[in-house]
A and B are shown apart, each in its own frame.
Chain A
Amino acid sequence: MSPPAVEARGLVKAYGAFTAVDGIDLVAHRGQVLALLGPNGAGKTTTVELCEGYRTPDAGTVRVLGLDPVRDGRLLRPRVGVMLQGGGAYPGVRAGEMLRLVAACAASPLDVNWLLDTLGLRAVDRLPYKRLSGGQQQRLALACAIVGRPELVFLDEPTAGLDPQARRLVWNLVSALRADGVTVLLTTHLMEEAEALADRVVIIDNGRVVACGTPSELTRTVVDGPQVRLLASAGIDLPMLSAALPEHCRIEQVRPGDYLINGPVDPQVLATVTAWCAEQGVLVETLQVTRPSLEDVFLDLTGRELRS
């Protein structure tokens, strides 16, 4: 069996007194999408740069396609695509020139004109890099990462600063890469991105892994089972409704008129709620069975406070 695309064990990296990465383990299986999720400054970029071979870990090991990214870089680089977080082009280089330079480094690159078209960059083919918008620079960086038909791509914040259309395009592209058997390791601080794209998610905070698993495994760790969300008029008689609900069900008002029922949710709970509302003359605007989102997990694990 071939080794995982990326396997890191006990990675540590410090910059002076600051430990950016403090014992991270992660595995990206071949053909899967692994998302490193974490707040800004959590250590995501340092982790990715250790895997890319830009930095040498202070402790721990990392293997990429079974090789050491620092020592075996020469063998590894033709097989791996890298998207840096910002920059990565001569200020005066034309967009198309930069992509053609990176394409020339690969044995069987994608068609450059097709890729420029696909990423909406054909119109700026001859424009200097410094005159591209942030989103165009971002898409060019993505093009450079995939043009060489790599087996594994590292995408550091691939959708940061993109408009919704471009973000959707990048999501489609990542899904297409996965469908074609390319392993993708991406970083993001967007829950919905991790939820939409990733087979597995590693949540990082303060240089440590605080949780990992599939998106559905992770959402199960905070709240067991689904919840019921009720939107109706504010100030309904909560104790009375609570008494009508089956045992072990708890109801709380999250915001005025927005109620959440936790506990074993079954069809009877929904019937009870609607019947009670009909009796009391309360108009139900929304009654929804929901699962906790990755965002709930994330905030639960990394805290709800704004960081300085």
Chain B
Amino acid sequence: MTFPLGTFTPRPGAGRPARMLAVHARTEFLVTVRHPEQLLLTLLIPMALLVGLTVIDLIDVPAGLRRVDTVTPRVLALAVMSAAFTGQAIALGFDRRYGVLKRLAATALPRWVLVCGRLAGLLGVVAAQLVLLGGAAALLGWRPSAVGVAWALPTILLGTLAFGSLGVLLGGALRAEIVLALANALWFVLLLAGGIVLSPSQLPGGLADVVRLLPSGALAEALHDSLAHGLAPGWGPVAVLAAWTVAAGAAAIRTVRLS
């Protein structure tokens, strides 16, 4: 094969940032939702827990609430943790292993697009989770108040940022296999003892205080307040989520490595 003269004449320059961001975010989103294990973690397990805990009498239901009202906010908190923390950490660990970050770092993508594109892809995944899990909960009889939903959305955004920063912190520095093991183990511990399935008030006193300071406990409590009771989230959980976001984000900036 021969090439006509001028085929490769240099015309260097960076793409438009908005387009770079859109294509990067779209690619991140598609790669995530196509991945079978990501799908299991971010959608199938939360869906199974939503249905299971709603129809089977396993957790205590606060007085005056239906089972689905207390289960749904907890499952949404789990979904955010699954996608933003565990899923994000594992994907980042393996993307580093396979040179994806190195490849993208060599393009004209500015560093902020590299971060925001990944975040936008993640927010797309979380939005899809909300629609599918919220729709399933509605079929099970869930009827949140409009005020509750309005409060829940910024809380979910903050929760995504907090868990996303922790996911990047974990996935950005260690070897892929270690990330895989740690991210899954932490997911399981936080699910059972981190305030997601059981609220802090159902835990022994000392443990309850610790759990209120965890991002999982804070997010579940804040979503429960909004979606089950129609209240604004308390300052406590919001402050906890903001603190985790800032601390993990600041640490991640120093520790993330391309490969």
Contacts and interface: CB of A to CB of B under 8 A. Distances in A.
A256 to B, nearest CB: 42
B13 A106 contact: yes
A52 B12 contact: no
A79 interface: yes
Contact of A180 (B8, B20, B258): B8
Nearest to A31: B10
Interface string A84-118: 10111111110001101110111111100000001
A181 interface: yes
A205 interface: no
List the 3 closest pairs (A to B, CB-CB), nearest first. A107-B13, A87-B99, A88-B103
Contacts, number: 127
Interface of A: 52, 54, 74, 77-80, 82, 84, 86-93, 97-98, 100-102, 104-110, 118, 128, 144, 146, 148-151, 169, 172-173, 176-177, 179-182
B10 A93 contact: no
B103 A173 contact: no
B165 to A, nearest CB: 21
Contacts of A74: 110
Contacts of A87: 97-100, 102-103
Contact of A148 (B24, B97, B107): B107
A79 B13 CA distance: 6
A150 B12 CA distance: 5
A50 to B, nearest CB: 14
Interface in B107-149: 107-110
A180 B9 contact: yes
Nearest to A165: B1
B106 interface: yes
Contact of A106 (B6, B14, B258): B14
B98 A118 contact: no
B235 interface: no
